[in-house]
Amino acid sequence: MSDIQVKFGKSFNPDAKAAVAELVQQVGGIDPTALIFFCSPKYDLAALGKAIDKTFDCPTIGCTTVGEILGETGYIEDSIVCAALASDKLTMWPIFIDDLHAFAESANPPELKPLADLPRGKGFALFLIDGLSMMEEAVIAQIYHALKGAPLIGASAGGELDFSHTYVYYGGAFHERAAVLAIVETSLPFAALHIQHFEPTDEKLVITEADTANRVVTEINGLPACEEYARAVGVTIDKLTPQVFAAHPVMLKIGDAYFVRSIQKLNPDGSLTFFCAIDVGLVLRVAKRAETLSENLADELAKVEADIPHPALIFGSDCVQRRLEIQQRGEVEKANEVLAHYPFIGFSTFGEQFCGVHVNYTLTALVLGDTAT
């Protein structure tokens, strides 16, 4: 017998109040103990925040996206999606971080005091942060240290591809330059995972000049960044588009594993802005696909059930460049067919977090089982 009920909702109604009313109809019949939602930035966010706060009285987390994902529909956009969880075996409490710089620089951030009481093996953290803050690495370093080994799965909120604004939700409002850390204590089984379908090649790119604070690389291998990157991936500079960056990410070795690092954009001066922190001296490798994204997604999600035989919920943070890839390569239908088999909710992000590492071009996920241990 299941120890948790999960109901999913979605709405394409552009009116914020009407969209929330549709969600209520779809998740009715349970008394939620937690709510997770993701929404298009095209909504009237002030109205949406008030409607959610007025309608749902349970702990709630959410943010804006570059597109929403729901198991039953797959990749969608211009919508709001939610998962309502009801279980006496699960407690979620959101923690608001309204000053990212102060939090990152503090020796003992007061927001993290509740983590001291989190039982080992009985909890995990979900994390949402302004996707344009460029503070992910510093903030999650503080959090992951305080978690003392408990899994952290996070996402950098998304927005329009002009990279102007992204927002996280807390307390009835949407906020910029902020983050929300949701601590989840539960006796339900859970597992954290990250999925990437790339592997490193022998083509090395050494960062020889960079503005680390702004994630801007001006020189690679001693040459102008745009010229050397274009050479390495076999295109001309005028072809350096978001689609090319999505097709040709780079990888960084951390410990024994390689993680993806992605380029956000080409700047007018020929420099490259990355989605992750980049420092002088880093040795990157051009990546190549090990298999198609949809094949990799099917293979990796199938493995999930070996650890969690009856998943009740999969919370997924999926890089926007993965969305661009499946669109460009005509894999949307195949990816949607894979997701249809799982209780999945997520969104396309400007960055992903897996435990203490900020990554790109990756799906990070938290899988929650249905029967308490």
Check which CATH number belongs to the domain holding 230 and give it: 2.40.30
Contact 7, 313 (CB under 8 A): no
The answer to whether residues 70 and 142 belong to one domain is: yes
Domain endpoint, select from 289, 307, 336: 289
343 & 308 share domain: yes
Whole-number pLDDT of residue 127: 97
Give the domain-ending residue among 252, 269, 289: 289
pLDDT for 45: 98
Alpha-carbon Rg of the chain, whole angstroms? 20
Please give the pLDDT value at position 254.
Answer: 86
What sign does the CA torsion over 155, 257, 183, 7 have?
positive
Single residue among 289, 314, 336 that ends a domain in this structure: 289
Same domain, 240 and 186: no
- 155 touches 67 (CB < 8 A): no
Do residues 273 and 184 both lie within one domain? Answer: no
Question: Do residues 30 and 161 both lie within one domain?
Answer: yes
pLDDT recorded at residue 247? 85
pLDDT at 149: 85
Cβ atoms within 10 Å of 141's Cβ, excluding its own: 14
**19 DSSP assignment:** H
Regarding whether 59 and 137 lie in a shared domain, the answer is yes
Residues 179 and 251 in one domain: no
Instruction: Give yes or no: residues 184 and 64 share one domain.
Output: yes
pLDDT value for 334: 97
* Residue 213 lies in domain: 198-289
Q: Could you tell me the sign of the dihedral formed by the alpha carbons of 144, 150, 151, 153, in that order? A: negative
**Within this chain, do residues 176 and 82 fall inside the same structural domain, yes or no?**
yes
Number of domains in the chain: 2
Q: Could you tell me if residue 125 is left (phi over 0), alpha (psi between -120 and 50 degrees) or otherwise beta?
A: beta
Q: Same domain, yes or no, for 183 and 251?
A: no
pTM of the predicted structure, to 2 decimals: 0.90
The tens-digit pLDDT sequence of the chain (373 residues) is: 799 999 999 999 999 999 999 999 999 999 999 999 999 999 999 999 999 999 999 999 999 999 999 999 999 999 999 999 999 999 999 999 999 999 999 988 999 987 877 777 788 999 999 999 999 999 999 999 898 889 999 999 999 988 899 999 999 999 999 999 999 999 999 999 999 999 999 999 999 999 998 999 999 999 999 999 999 999 999 999 988 898 899 999 988 889 888 898 999 999 999 988 889 999 999 999 999 999 999 999 999 888 898 999 999 999 998 998 999 899 999 999 999 999 999 999 999 999 988 998 999 999 999 998 7
pLDDT score at 257? 86
Same domain, 47 and 142: yes
Residue 101 has what pLDDT?
Answer: 94
